[in-house]
Amino acid sequence: MCGIVGYAGHEQAAPILLDGLEKLEYRGYDSAGVCIGDGGALRVAKAKGRLAHLSELIDGGRSLQGTIGIGHTRWATHGAPSDENSHPHIADSGKIAVVHNGIIENYLKLKEWLVGLGKRFHSETDTEVVANLIEHFYDEGFDFRMSVRKAVERIEGSYALGIMCRDYPDTLIAVKKDSPLIFGFGDGCNYIASDVPAILKYTREVCYLDDGDMVMFTASDAHFFNGAGDPVEKRPEHITWDTSAAEKGGYAHFMLKEIHEQPKAIRDTLSPRMKDGRVVLDDIRLTPEYLKSLSRVYVVACGSAYYVGVQSKYIIEKLCQLPVEPVLASEFRYADPVLGADTLVLIISQSGETADTLAALREAKARGARTLAIVNVVGSSIAKLADDVIYTWAGPEIAVATTKAYSTQLAVVDLLALYFAQCLGTLPQARYDQLYGELQQLPAKVERLLTEEVISRIQYDASRFFNNRDVFYIGRNLDSATCLEGSLKLKEIAYIHSEAYAAGELKHGPISLIEDGTLVVAIATNPALFDKTMSNVKEVKARGAEVLGLTTERFADEIAKSVDSAILTPETDPLFQPNLSIVPLQCFAYYVALMRGCDVDKPRNLAKSVTVE
Ligand code: F6R
């Protein structure tokens, strides 16, 4: 959601900014712009639409000369996507230029005040208020840095800001609160960006700015200040992953690449934590005594990460006899949850920056609960704030629709369940050993789902069903949780209306929507519930539905009697079956989206990292 890049150096800035913004396209945006400093001038080019359009307007950056600048991709919040509302925004007298990610909550009050002082506005954005506010203090006689500081003292909300001042032609200032921003240490140049891929081609030495931090930098030096305005030292962290991790590597889309990376991502996440028949979680400090004192676990997250939470309820409750309650982060923070020392709050987030999840984490801590986060992005806000963190080693996930992050989050939940069971003594050794063995085999089984043979079968199903207007995903128990994620994948990238229902719920209402040709995806992987789900399949078939079944290899013949087409997965323990079932559902959504001509990696209206409420 909104991408920021800034550069101060000796090369032409505009091509570097365009290149960086391209690497941030995955975050989602609807307009783009750059501001280039050229001696005393601030030259802006911005336009609604794709970055390629902006790039064309400025001849790949060549028509905007200058070696310092800020760039932005905007995901509209205040004001429609338009040229005027695109960033950068220039203050009324032209002295300050600003790019912004986040939301200024008190912008209307500030705008009114600034208008009263004679400032004119040209957009509907909250960001233009920031530019004018900084310029107001600058005109009062404060220097560039103090003007920014005084402005951020007045604004409420979330922000990562990149700021230029006409009178400081070599200097950029960046400041952040509740929106991600990194600083990149270059050789004779320096950078800011919303995320590492934007600058990875140029530097591997970065630092993650903390809330309240400000950096004032030129090509040759950088000065960091904390929220109180005191100078602080920031040490660069070396990024070890390769640029190829943030590139398509021969795949048509990031999503397809990330689907295929799942066996490795799951292996990388599981294997360092499984040693000599035991789950070893050195990264967290939850002792058996603490776990025994727990009366409840809340799992708090958004979107797909929340669906991992729904899975976790079945898995942890079954293996640990510990009550688990999944809650949407956007609801949790306003629900007045009952928390205390006997409650563990498990936070799940790929980006580690999701605004609602971050706010829920703060709420949980404020209410005295211990927090444990499952996060993919090292150094992200959630990773820093949680009491304990377990990283999913999925590598950078670029496609907006999550795949490998979801799979690795689920693998961590499996690990945690085994770890808790190990500490609580809730499993007989033989059952523990059996699950441990199954978990070890997961990456290889996921690999088997990504062979040419399975994929071409799914492509065939996609070609058969891609024109359906309504799709229902049904399943029981853990399969019903898998339905939630399978259905979300289809809606978000293929724009098909789809709903997920616990199969037993169908006849309590939604079955009235089934008519000739409605597609029902029926997941039936649990042997104990197979027949029951097949009864539900019969009910929808009797009303004209076409049914795509998903089950395990052993039910191949059985399911063929009831459905129009079937996808088979290898066998594992029913508790771990969702780790396998989701893979063909991701592929199905991918190929359906492809056949419908959708922009798979950048679905409309969506952003990768949702940093506003
Ligand atoms: C769907 C998807 C989203 C995210 C959600 C949470 O494919 O990616 O539903 O799961 O926005 O994001 P994180 O995990 O970054 O907190």
* SS3 per-residue string spanning 61-84: HCCCCCCEEEEEEECCCCCCCCCC
Ligand 1 atom 10: residue of nearest CA: 304
d(Cα 394, Cα 348) in Å, to the nearest integer? 14
d(Cα 577, Cα 533) in Å, to the nearest integer? 16
Q: Which of 227, 42, 27, 46 is nearest to 125 (CA)?
A: 46
**Residue segments in the chain with a per-residue pLDDT below the cut of 70:** 243-244
d(Cα 35, Cα 71) in Å, to the nearest integer? 6
pLDDT of residue 262: 98
Strand boundaries in 419-476, DSSP class E: 470-475
CA of 485 to the centre of ligand 1 (A): 11
Name residue, tokens 């000796």: 10
- Beta strands at 89-90 and 31-38: parallel, antiparallel or unpaired: unpaired
Catalytic residue, chosen from 23, 46, 119, 608, is 608
How many CB atoms lie under 10 A from the CB of residue 470? 16
d(Cα 442, Cα 444) in Å, to the nearest integer? 5
Q: Which of 591, 603, 552 is nearest to 259 (CA)?
A: 591
Catalytic residue, chosen from 2, 207, 423, 483, is 2
Known catalytic residue at 598: no
Strand order in the sheet with 231-232: 89-90, 96-104, 157-165, 172-177, 214-217, 222-225, 231-232
**Does residue 303 have its Cβ closer than 6 Å to ligand 1?**
yes
**Beta bridge pairs of residue 32:** 47, 73
Coil, helix or strand for 495? coil
**Does residue 357 have its Cβ closer than 6 Å to ligand 1?**
yes
pLDDT of residue 90: 97
| Terminal CA-CA length for the chain | 12
CA of 305 to the centre of ligand 1 (A): 6
pLDDT of residue 199: 95
pTM above 0.85, yes or no: no
- Beta strands at 96-104 and 157-165: parallel, antiparallel or unpaired: antiparallel
81, with CB counted inside 10 A (0-12, 13-18, 19+), is: middle
CA of 550 to the centre of ligand 1 (A): 24
CA of 463 to the centre of ligand 1 (A): 27
Q: Which of 302, 416, 296 is nearest to 359 (CA)?
A: 302
d(Cα 166, Cα 92) in Å, to the nearest integer? 13
**Does residue 418 have its Cβ closer than 6 Å to ligand 1?**
no
**Does residue 498 have its Cβ closer than 6 Å to ligand 1?**
no
pLDDT of residue 609: 75
**Does residue 304 have its Cβ closer than 6 Å to ligand 1?**
yes
Name residue, tokens 């700021």: 163
Longest dimension (CA), the chain: 81
pLDDT digits (tens, 9 = 90+) for 397-448: 999 999 999 999 999 999 999 999 999 999 999 999 999 999 999 999 999 9
Known catalytic residue at 2: yes
Which amino acid is present at 168? Y
CA separation (Å) from 351 to 82, 188, 394, 433, 571? 27, 30, 11, 33, 31
How many CB atoms lie under 10 A from the CB of residue 325? 16
DSSP calls for 327-342? EEHHHHTTS-----TT
Ligand 1 atom 9: residue of nearest CA: 303
Write the CB contacts of 37 (distance below 8 Å, at least 6 apart in sequence): 13, 43, 66, 67, 68, 69, 164, 169, 170
Coil, helix or strand for 316? helix
CA of 213 to the centre of ligand 1 (A): 26
186, with CB counted inside 10 A (0-12, 13-18, 19+), is: middle
CA of 590 to the centre of ligand 1 (A): 17
**Does residue 610 have its Cβ closer than 6 Å to ligand 1?**
yes
CA of 607 to the centre of ligand 1 (A): 9
Ligand 1 atom 16: residue of nearest CA: 349
Write the CB contacts of 293 (distance below 8 Å, at least 6 apart in sequence): 341, 342
**Does residue 354 have its Cβ closer than 6 Å to ligand 1?**
yes
**Does residue 455 have its Cβ closer than 6 Å to ligand 1?**
no
**Does residue 579 have its Cβ closer than 6 Å to ligand 1?**
no
Q: Which of 192, 221, 197 is nearest to 207 (CA)?
A: 192
Looking at ligand 1, which atom is closest to the CA of residue 609? 15
Can you say whether the dihedral through the CA atoms of 264, 267, 272, 275 is positive or negative? negative
**Does residue 33 have its Cβ closer than 6 Å to ligand 1?**
no
pLDDT of residue 613: 75
